[in-house]
Amino acid sequence: MIGCLYLGTQRSVQPYVDAFLSGLASHGYTEGKNIRVLFRFADGHTDRLSTLTTELVSLGARVIVTAGSASIEAAHKATPNVPIVSLIGPNPVDMRWVKNLAKPGGMITGVFFKTQAPKKVELLKELRPQATRFGVLMDSNTHAHSIPEEECS
């Protein structure tokens, strides 16, 4: 069983939920047939994330899928022995969730923005080869860090 934990509302993350379920289906996993996925939404209340994580694990979740620093941190603190897969998050080394990227150890894995920046810029350059500048909008309330300019050139 997979537990999915989101800080936002169900409505705000529904496109991601749909994409996640579609990705599972494309690999032969169908909700209710050969896999069970439980979703929990904190509706913007970070103080609910820990309780929701504990609830998912008590219901049998063997892995927690989440996104963003608040959700990752809450899941990690609530259930340090359950694997966490992040759809997007800050640099896990900067957050002290892992020792290094080469051999992270621990229970957190996924896609992390800062560590993926060069590849994302490469993809943007393929999409818009004539562009010379790209902008990034980030939530200043997260622990994500800015991308060094040298990674974007």
Question: Residue ranges per domain, the chain?
Answer: 2-114
Q: Is the pLDDT assigned to residue 38 strictly greater than 90? A: yes
Q: Is the pLDDT assigned to residue 43 strictly greater than 90? A: yes
How many angstroms separate the CA atoms of 35 and 22, rounded?
A: 13
Please tell me the class of the 2-114 domain. Answer: alpha beta
Task: Match 């229970």 to its residue by tokens.
Answer: 107
The confidence band for 120, taking pLDDT boundaries of 50, 70 and 90, is: low
Looking at residue 149, its pLDDT comes to 37
Q: What is the pTM of this model?
A: 0.69
3-state secondary structure of 18: helix
Top-confidence residue, 94 or 14: 14
Q: Is the pLDDT assigned to residue 44 strictly greater than 70? A: yes
Looking at residue 53, its pLDDT comes to 94
Residues 6+ apart with CB under 8 A from 9: 41, 43, 44
Looking at residue 150, its pLDDT comes to 37
Q: CA geometry: angle at 148 spanning 85 and 77, to 5°?
A: 30
The confidence band for 67, taking pLDDT boundaries of 50, 70 and 90, is: confident
**Residue 45 amino acid letter:** H
